[in-house]
Amino acid sequence: MNTERPIGIFDSGIGGLTVVKAIQAALPHEQIIYFGDTARVPYGPKSQVTIRKYAYDDVAILMRHQPKMIIVACNTVSALALDVVEKASGAIPVIGVLKAGAELAVKATKNNHIGVIGTQATVSSNAYACAIHQLNPEIEVVSKACPLFVPLAEEGFIDHPATKLIAREYLTDINKHGIDTLVLGCTHYPILRRVIEETIGHGIRIIDSAEAVALRTHQLLTESGELNHHRRTTAPHLLVSDLPQKFSVIYQLFMNSELPDVELVEV
């Protein structure tokens, strides 16, 4: 039965764990298989050719486990290689964080001014602005790359004064544009959600792409009748291409739970 098959999620590294957490919260009975390409992280600063090659590999690894759908937790892949994922995954549905986040942001904005923050590659690709404009060409989108947010999150500098200074530096410009909605266009950023929220001001609606994906996944599986209602909740099945130091510390930071068994796969 399709309902029993796992949901496959992949990311360039461990950032996609925020998506795993959101899916677990929204769909507690689903089996999740997660691949983090920790040997080749980060994808963000790499060229499009390289990112597309990596995306193909990542899908191939998940496909061995016969997922009922694939979630692209990586914003970079969602922006630059979603077609590669769709081709490599055959007939099963694919959800990318980017489109899910864009859709939720478009629904949320009242004044048609949306801000997007992400890695350099995501922002340079202009993919969020394109996805938003496909839904509503009248919306004004202002974007800002925040390259230090990922290492700050991984270092656990959640409440650090330096993080606040850097957030202020990154977000001041974006704040001048009168946005009412801000998309966290990188899976690491929910870890810094509080400092981002405080810096940008509490009147602005934060769109967490991970939550957006979880909503969309729930909707899609409900429509297709593939939602799993009965399975006992278990830890996600974790695949990584390299087992980095501090992995269990970062896992706890992202998931608020102990690291389960991790399987190493070659890319």
**3-state DSSP of 60-77:** HHHHCCCCCEEEECCHHH
In this complex, which beta carbon is closest to its own copies, that of residue 44 or of residue 93? 44
Helix axes 247-255, 17-26, angle to 10 degrees: 40
- Cβ 80 vs Cβ 18: under 8 Å: no
Q: Which stretch binds its own copies (CB under 8 A): 43-51, 129-137, 205-213, 227-235?
A: 43-51
Kindly give, in sequence order, each residue whose CB lies less than 8 Å from that of residue 182, ignoring residues fewer than 6 positions away: 114, 115, 116, 117, 174, 196, 200, 204, 205, 206, 207
47 versus 111: smaller Cβ distance to its own copies: 47
Q: By three-state DSSP, how is residue 230 classified?
A: coil
How many C-alpha atoms does 129 have within 13 Å on its Cβ side? Answer: 12
Q: Interface with its own copies includes 117 (CB under 8 A)?
A: no
Nearer CB in complex with its own copies: 124/257 = 124
Judged by CB under 8 A, which of 39, 63, 92, 262 binds its own copies? 39
* Residue 155 in the binding site for its own copies (CB under 8 A): yes
Q: Is 154 in the site for its own copies (CB under 8 A)?
A: yes
| CB of 37 or CB of 208, closer to its own copies | 37
- Tell me the two tokens of residue 4: 């029993």
146 part of the active site = no
Query: Known catalytic residues?
Result: 74, 186
Q: What is the contact surface with its own copies in residues (CB under 8 A)?
A: 38-40, 45-47, 50, 120-121, 124, 147-148, 150-152, 154-155, 157, 160-163, 165-166, 169, 242-246
